[in-house]
A and B are shown apart, each in its own frame.
Chain A
Amino acid sequence: MSGPAGYAAELAGRTGGAAEDTFGQWTVDVPVERWAEALEFARDEAGCAFFDWLTAVDEEDAFAVVAHVWSVPERFHLLLRTRVPREAPAVPTATGVYRGAAWHERETHEMFGIDFPGHPGLAPLLLPDGFEGHPLRKEFVLAARVAKAWPGAKEPGESGHGGPRRRRMKPPGVPDDWGPNPGGR
């Protein structure tokens, strides 16, 4: 077992997940119960001692929490990914394995609302005090785009004279009673 492909396959086998080659680096999907175990494998046995980042992706039906680690001696990346449902999302904390994940988990928590049980202190990191909502979720309404439509071209070739004249539509995901012209316009 050596090299990223081997480590990825071994990890997938041990945790009951799946490994795939995504654009030249190996991604291992692990079930959320085996998350800490997978990170320990990556750090101890695969030699990926360098923790790069941890973040989440809002896929329509679930959140995917992704961690990127790098092996300094053997020089390869490894992406570890787990999926949690959208209601009450919780992923065990990575701080037990990689101390540097503390701030990444704080940011992921405030941007997506994902809980990390075991984290020493999930205080907001980047957002201003009193900010309501989780901005990077898909249902978070981007207020500026509702108040003012995107001024540029949406399709290639539209710049200069705008798109075809169509009814001004709200950006996707905005409820009907929202914005300066409520009532479905």
Chain B
Amino acid sequence: MGVTPLPEPRLGPVARFAPKPVRYVLNWGRRYSLWVFNFGLACCAIEFIATSMARHDFIRLGVIPFAPGPRQADLMVVSGTVSDKMAPAVRRLYEQMPEPKYVISFGACSNCGGPYWDSYCVTKGVDQIVPVDVYVPGCPPRPEALLHGIVRLQEKIAAEALGERYAPPRPSARELTAPLVPAPGRGASG
């Protein structure tokens, strides 16, 4: 079909070879300026909205709510039941977020299908479609639980090295072609 291949994932050189203090500063900036794209699907969306409002504000954690769309967000909070009909849209919107992106699965339904695990049209967990960083259990979780989940995500980002995600050290050809199980030595017993 003549489709041009897209370039491999890469990371900018300053971020890849940054020494630890620089990486600390970069992670600090990234984790305290998350823009959240609320993928609100069901009741957990109401709890998410409650967390964004005055009493349990998550904007004080740096998470600025309600990015206008996936292109302006770096955190996606999947809150609510993911039905099989909605699953491709979740996948597409996750793909359309710019790197680096993080996903919080909020509530039992998006963790594992929740109370509707046995339905004929529920995706049993959004981690079947997108990679999830933090799971917040509950049905629905309290707003404080989402705040805790966001803090855990921030701790995860603080410990992160972007180079491992985007420019992982690739095994050499010799490592890839080596046999998995070494052949038994000559004369060895059993």
Contact = CB atoms under 8 A, between A and B. Distances in A.
* Co-assembled chains A and B: yes
A144 B85 contact: no
Interface string A134-157: 010000101111001010000000
Interface stretch (A1-9, A46-54, A99-107, A124-132): A124-132
A143 B117 CA distance: 10
Interface residues of B, number: 10
A127 B119 contact: no
A91 to B, nearest CB: 23
A140 B119 CA distance: 12
A126 to B, nearest CB: 7
B121 A135 contact: yes
A128 B118 contact: no
B120 A128 contact: no
Contacts of A145: 118
Nearest to A129: B85
B85 A126 contact: yes
A153 to B, nearest CB: 15
A135 B120 contact: yes
B84 A128 contact: yes
B12 to A, nearest CB: 40
B121 A127 contact: yes
B23 interface: no
Nearest to B116: A144
B124 interface: yes
A136 B165 CA distance: 44
Contacts of B83: 128
Nearest to A140: B120
Nearest to B113: A144
14 contacts: A126-B85, A127-B121, A128-B83, A128-B85, A128-B121, A135-B120, A140-B120, A143-B120, A144-B117, A144-B120, A144-B124, A145-B118, A148-B117, A150-B118
